[in-house]
Amino acid sequence: MEITVTTAQQLRLTEEEFELIQQKLSRTPNFTELCCFSAMWSEHCSYKNSIKWLKTLPREGGRMLVAAGEENAGLMDMGNGYGVVFKIESHNHPSAIEPFQGAATGVGGIQRDIFTMGARPIASLNSLRFGNLTDAKTQRLLKGVVKGIGHYGNCFGVPTVAGEVYFEDCYHTNPLVNAMSVGIVKANKMVSATAKGVGNPVFYVGSATGKDGIGGASFASANITEESVEELPAVQVGDPFQEKKLLEACLEVIETGAVVGMQDMGAAGIICSTSEMSAKGGVGMRIDLDKVPTRQQNMKAWELLLSESQERMLLVVEKGREAEVIAVFEKWDLSVSNIGEVTNDGLLHFYYHGNLEAVIPAESLVLGGGAPQYDREYKKPAYLSNIENFDINSINDITDLQSTTKALIQIPNIASKKWVAEQYDSMVGTANASTNAPSDAAVVLAKGTGKALAMTVDCNSKYVFANPYIGCSIAVAEAARNIVCSGGEPLGLTNCLNFGNPYDPEVYYQFVEAIKGMGNACRAFNTPVTGGNVSFYNQNPDGPVYPTPTIGMVGIIDDFKNRMTLDFKNVDDVIVLVGHQVNDIGSSEYLHKIRKQYFSPAPYFNLEEELRMQRFLLQLIKNHAILSAHDISEGGLIITLMEKGFNRSLGFEVSKTEFQHLRNDAFWMGEAQGRAVITCSAIQWPGIQQLANELNVPVYKIGKVTNDIVSVNNENWGSINAWKELYENAIGKLIQ
């Protein structure tokens, strides 16, 4: 078969990339080699259109032990000789085509990223976006994705402790499925994804290789069109039982001390793991593809190299200690096969049926090595002028607060996600301390370390759409606020950057601005980026999704006594509003869903005020000066108050008396940032005022906790339980 530029284009490589490959090899590649470049230089593996900007994010500092990009996931110091590893990853495109397996393998993939480093996963989170929930297609996708996440995570045995679900029309064709995992590792047991030691054997372990998921990486790098449905085999099939065994076996084999390096086989399978491990170690590998266990006959060399069959790992083992490694995998009834060895020439040699099928310099394939890096042009999107022209005075203020609140609390973006969350095992591991004591971020015991972790995923993409820079800063700030309201100190974050087509300059503008905003906020909060994932091409003929840079953040609670919960505790406790109160309804759920205004600015946000507010909250919590803390986010103050009442069925009595200068909708439903609602006993209130003065943070006493009745501006709104009923059942009622 003659290899031409047309062949390359059919494999989604450009003409320039084909020329670059020829230069790297000093010859024309054969088909197998070209397939390897196609997969490794796909957007998904090479970050070719994003890496330039990703490098501007703070990737060091704080308690970072392993910097972003050096390993499968970032590692941060927890103290006491332990590290926490966490990462978020997208599985958007597979989930759009086959929601159950797409979401399931997304969960499986992110878990492998964690335990390949020697860490035991202790918690999972996810961030999901769909179209309008009343739409039949959305319901099918939602049911499939939730079932898929549950199927994999529940069996694998890691609790799903937190998440977010949003419904916006822009996600109708392109749902987003982002999965995050958090693991704990003894700092001296961390395993690197590096191949070292010439002559060391290379082992393949786990499930056999089939034709599933071939080309998945390049598939994720294309727009979804009608023809995509034809690409079904590009979606992988997961087996959580195999992965559970693989987890236990991998952690056990690390204990032998015979493992030199280990990497999971995810996107681009064998070619990705062999090239990345070799490039990192500055070595090569000689691989005999005949020794790869297969589940299908007559597979071609390129199919073996590119297959994305799940639940597989590549290990480099110390020569002479093969038997110890084999014994562990055999104990767990997993396939284990010595498929080759480490060489000193930096070249990957792949043999099959006695033929040398491919010879490629490992370095030439990988990110940071030979993979191309592009500067993309960008320009300010036209729609932003609609947003700049928004005038709050064109919107009449509301008169009936109660009926508007009733509508607001049942909007799927605001209502309880119980219908989703109860399908996930949230308690396995007996470490989820939020089950019986809810908080803004999930609080998870890090058993053995004497500490707990607070974790959250956050991104309000409407804000990012309205102002990519501010919106993405807010995503970081809100994540930190959730950690702080739970009593944690933010450690670091992982990001999942879901955007449209990077070759569209208006989309790329959103990307660039979002990264700048994220970087600025990260530096302010001293939360380095430990790693993450970019998912471009979340776009269809109707346009791109809202720019959605999902932030997964982890914080540390050194002393469990300092964890904080969100709910009202006692009748007559004082309700305190914290933060600056402004006349703002920009990009609120209220404005978007009830008043149907789709173009308005991002909500009020001041980074300095936000930082002061968070320091103030953390200090109050450490002083044991408050009884609850819950941040103000979607739905504004009124929803925050309701949510504080539900857990113990306590009502509240509040009024707007002191804020006559503010609009009703802005005060009750506005989403201005940097705010929270805390409660305290009457005795604690003066001390809170004093600290607030010292730290220059506004605090306002707005009412008190009641036995059951909700009273707003002296109007009786009935029992808190009636509101809870609306809140908890809104989503279930919409699903057929």
Distance CA(70)–CA(21), nearest Å, equals: 25
Q: Name the residue nearer to another protein (CB basis): 149 or 217.
A: 149
**Interface residues for another protein in 554-583 (CB under 8 A)?**
560
Radius of gyration of the chain (CA): 26
Instruction: Count CB neighbours of 497 within 10 A.
Output: 27
The tokens 């035991």 sit on which residue?
120
Residue 327 found at the interface with another protein (CB under 8 A): no
Selected range binding another protein among 49-57, 152-160, 296-304, 363-371, rule: CB under 8 A: 152-160
Known binding residue 532? Answer is: yes
Does 244 bind another protein (CB under 8 A)? Our answer is yes
Query: What's the CA gap between 294 and 274, in Å, rounded?
Result: 18
Q: Is the dihedral of CA 601, 607, 613, 617 positive or negative?
A: positive
Site for another protein in 667-726 (CB under 8 A): none
Per CB under 8 A, the list member of 256, 423, 520, 562 interacting with another protein is 423
Residue 426 near another protein by CB under 8 A? yes
The annotation status of 495 as a binding-site residue, yes or no, is yes
Nearer to another protein, 206 or 703 (CB): 206
Cβ proximity of 44 and 218 under 8 Å: yes
Q: How many other CB atoms are there within 10 angstroms of residue 549's CB atom?
A: 25
Give least dist CB 207 to another protein, A. 12
| Residue 273 buriedness (CB in 10 A; 0-12 / 13-18 / 19+) | buried
Q: How far is the CB of 181 from another protein (least distance, A)?
A: 15
Q: Write down the H helix ranges in 603-663.
A: 607-622, 636-646
The residue from 445, 534, 553, 688 that contacts another protein (CB under 8 A) is 445
Instruction: Establish if 435 lies at the interface with another protein (CB under 8 A).
Output: yes
Q: Is 47 marked as binding a ligand?
A: yes
Nearer to another protein, 213 or 438 (CB): 438
Site string for another protein, 84-103 (x = CB under 8 A): --------------------
87 annotated as belonging to a binding site for a ligand: yes
Cβ closest to another protein, residue 243 vs residue 671:
243
State in angstroms the smallest separation of the CB of 78 from another protein.
Answer: 17
In whole angstroms, the minimum distance from the beta carbon of 677 to another protein comes to 22
Between 240 and 269, CB nearer to another protein: 240
Is 149 or 507 the residue whose CB approaches another protein more closely?
149
Near another protein by CB under 8 A: residue from 26, 297, 436, 714 = 436
Inter-helix orientation angle 401-409/636-646, to 10°:
70
CA atoms of 590 and 666, how far apart (whole Å): 10
- Residue 190 binding another protein, by CB under 8 A: no
Residue 105 near residue 524, CB atoms below 8 Å? no
E strands in 396-522? 442-446, 451-458, 489-498
161 scored as a contact of another protein (CB under 8 A): no
> Which of 353, 325, 279, 310 has its CA nearest to residue 40?
279
Q: Closer CB to another protein, residue 359 or residue 428?
A: 428
The two three-digit tokens of residue 197, written as one number: 């030691």
Distances (CA, A) of 306 to 59, 81, 670: 30, 38, 50
43 binds another protein (CB under 8 A): no
How many residues make contact with another protein (CB under 8 A)?
Answer: 32
**Among 581, 576, 580, which residue's Cα sits nearest to residue 626?**
576
* The binder of another protein chosen from 90, 92, 154, 274 (CB under 8 A): 154
Residue with smaller CB distance to another protein, 264 or 425: 425
Query: What letter does residue 707 receive in the DSSP assignment?
Result: S
Residue type, 417: K
φ/ψ of residue 90, rounded to 5 = -95, 150
Please give, one letter per residue, the 3-state secondary structure of 584-615. Answer: CCCCCHHHHHHCCCCCCCCCCCCHHHHHHHHH
Residue span binding another protein (CB under 8 A) among the ranges 153-161, 211-219, 526-534, 548-556: 153-161
List CB contacts of 20: < 8 A, sequence separation 6 or more. 370, 372
> The tokens of 150 are what?
């549950």
Q: Nearest to residue 654, comparing CAs of 717, 722, 711, 579?
A: 711
Stretch that binds another protein, among 252-260, 425-433, 467-475, 491-499 (CB under 8 A): 425-433
List the catalytic residues.
Answer: 44, 91
Q: Which of 395, 398, 427, 734 binds another protein (CB under 8 A)?
A: 427
Whole-number minimum distance, CB 681 to another protein, in Å? Answer: 21
Binding site residue list for substrate: 90-93, 112, 236, 308-310, 535
Which residues of the chain form contacts with another protein (CB under 8 A)?
147, 150-151, 154-157, 239-242, 244-245, 332-333, 422-430, 432-433, 435-437, 445, 447, 560
Binding site residue list: 47, 87, 89-93, 112-113, 236, 264, 308-310, 495, 532-533, 535
